[in-house]
Amino acid sequence: MRTDQIRDLAIKRHDIDAEFFQNTYTDKVKNVKKVHPFRYGRNLILEDLKKILEQLPSGARVLDIGSGTGHLTQWIASMGFDVVGVEPSSEMIGFARKNFPELKFSEGISSAIPYPAEKFDLVVAFEVFRYLDKKENFNTYQEVKRVLKKDGIFFFTQINRYATDYYYFFYYIKKIIYKIRNKVYHYCFFTTPAAQKGMLLTTGYSSVQTIGRMAASIRVAYKLGKKAGDMYIRLIEKIYGKQRFTKWPMRSLAGHLIVIAKK
């Protein structure tokens, strides 16, 4: 598939899944397997984002790319920042505007941000670039650099290729099954901390930090039910605490890869 086809597919997919995302945030989804590890991992990522936000002056300008239903945008706004969302799916942005009419959400994609150069102190993107191919990720990194102020920070998540939920392996099995059935399976960009560092430095960012969060095997444990998942988390926390991995190999095996780059 071409870069623009992959990009369009991601938008279509979120048009279809918008209600699922809305229900996840408004606590209407009871799917333990998906929602519990999602919430747990999300809270760990927010810990790192909070540390970055605390370094910014109050009222600093923040851009939330792929702002979806707007819940992350609102969380940032609640901490006193001047935040706007950019989102291409009309269904997702429709929910965001209904959920938070006081916030601003613009239509747009990550590689063509509808804002002037050097406008933002911080650009965030949670669970967005995984739907784009490498070329579009590169285009995005360049575009974000354009809208960041000098020394501005870019904070985003990616999918670790070697995460210990073995999603990489299961994704390709599922993709083959879809192909046999003549159906299109969503695109997924798998990467590594070293590859991300290389891409951002090549794009001209001055420094890059990568952090792995959450033992990915927690997702596997929740497949066995809530009780098994909760017990497993207690065990993991005894061993690894809040699972913040900054070194090889744990960083590459974690369930979430956080990338923080400075312009």
Ligand X SMILES: C[S@@+](CC[C@H](N)C(=O)[O-])C[C@H]1O[C@@H](n2cnc3c(N)ncnc32)[C@H](O)[C@@H]1O
Q: How many CB atoms lie within 10 A of CB 148?
A: 24
Q: Which is nearer to ligand X, 104 or 230 (CB)?
A: 104
d(CA 147, CA 125): 14
- Identify which range of 33-41, 124-132, 172-180, 226-234 contacts ligand X by CB under 6 A: 124-132
Bridge partners of 86?
65, 106
Q: Which is nearer to ligand X, 110 or 158 (CB)?
A: 110
Among 37, 88, 152, 193, binds ligand X (CB under 6 A): 88
Minimum distance of ligand X from residue 248's CB (angstroms): 27
**Phi, psi values for residue 215, rounded to 5°:** -70, 120
Q: Is 48 in the site for ligand X (CB under 6 A)?
A: no
Q: How many residues bind ligand X (CB under 6 A)?
A: 21
- Identify which range of 50-58, 120-128, 181-189, 200-208 contacts ligand X by CB under 6 A: 120-128
- In terms of C-beta density within 10 A (0-12 exposed, 13-18 middle, 19 or more buried), how is residue 105 classed? buried
Among 121, 127, 133, 165, binds ligand X (CB under 6 A): 127
Among 68, 193, 229, 255, binds ligand X (CB under 6 A): 68
Among 37, 41, 66, 229, binds ligand X (CB under 6 A): 66
Minimum distance of ligand X from residue 128's CB (angstroms): 4
Number of residues assigned to the chain:
263
Minimum distance of ligand X from residue 227's CB (angstroms): 27
- In terms of C-beta density within 10 A (0-12 exposed, 13-18 middle, 19 or more buried), how is residue 151 classed? exposed
Residue type for 228, please?
Answer: A
d(CA 225, CA 127): 24
Minimum distance of ligand X from residue 111's CB (angstroms): 7
Q: Is 154 in the site for ligand X (CB under 6 A)?
A: no
∠250-205-49 over CA atoms, to 5°?
A: 55
d(CA 239, CA 213): 14
Residues of this chain that interact with ligand X (CB under 6 A) are: 7, 10-11, 14, 65-68, 71-72, 87-89, 92, 109-110, 126-128, 131-132
